[in-house]
């Protein structure tokens, strides 16, 4: 079974600075997808960024980028120019890409990000 580990329960960053959230995962599959979701106080789950395992290039979405290290099974999220609105719980998630396999997301335990003004 796949597992996702987020070893930082809490992180803080100064507004306009950069912060990196860590995520590691364990899988025997070669085809899969990785995601970062944001959960603000409203509790709505918002997709921040996704990465296909077969792509070597790291995904980027505006101020959000990932460092995907497939051999090390590491998938960290970097938030540049942090804003107050970035404060939220961030979840790393894994999904198998093999046809016929389970399609559910496996989530880590989350990292609570605080942005300091």
Partner 1 sequence: NAGVMQNPRHLVRRRGQEARLRCSPMKGHSHVYWYRQLPEEGLKFMVYLQKENIIDESGMPKERFSAEFPKEGPSILRIQQVVRGDSAAYFCASSDRGGSYEQYFGPGTRLTVT
Which residues in this chain contact partner 1 in the complex, by CB under 8 A? 33, 37, 42-47, 50, 91, 95, 97, 102-110
Q: Is the alpha carbon torsion for 105, 21, 77, 40 positive or negative?
A: positive
Residue 11 or 45: the one with the smaller Cβ distance to partner 1 is 45
CB 96, min distance to partner 1, A: 9
Retrieve residue 81's tokens. 């120019």
Q: Work out the burial of residue 22: count CB atoms within 10 Å of its CB; fewer than 13 is exposed, 13-18 middle, 19 or more buried.
A: middle
CB 111, min distance to partner 1, A: 10
Residue 21 or 110: the one with the smaller Cβ distance to partner 1 is 110
CB 81, min distance to partner 1, A: 26
Retrieve residue 70's tokens. 């497939």
């Amino acid at each position: 079974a796949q597992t996702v580990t987020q070893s930082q329960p809490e992180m803080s960053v100064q507004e306009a600075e950069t912060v990196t959230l860590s995520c590691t995962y364990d899988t025997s599959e070669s085809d899969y997808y990785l995601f970062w979701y944001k959960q603000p106080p409203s509790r709505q789950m918002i997709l921040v960024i996704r990465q296909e395992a077969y792509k070597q290039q790291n995904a980027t979405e505006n101020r959000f980028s990932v460092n995907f290290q497939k051999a090390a099974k590491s998938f960290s999220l970097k938030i540049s120019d942090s804003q107050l609105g970035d404060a939220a719980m961030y979840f790393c998630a894994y999904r198998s890409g093999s046809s016929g396999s389970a399609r559910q997301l496996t989530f880590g335990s989350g990292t609570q990000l605080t942005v300091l003004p």
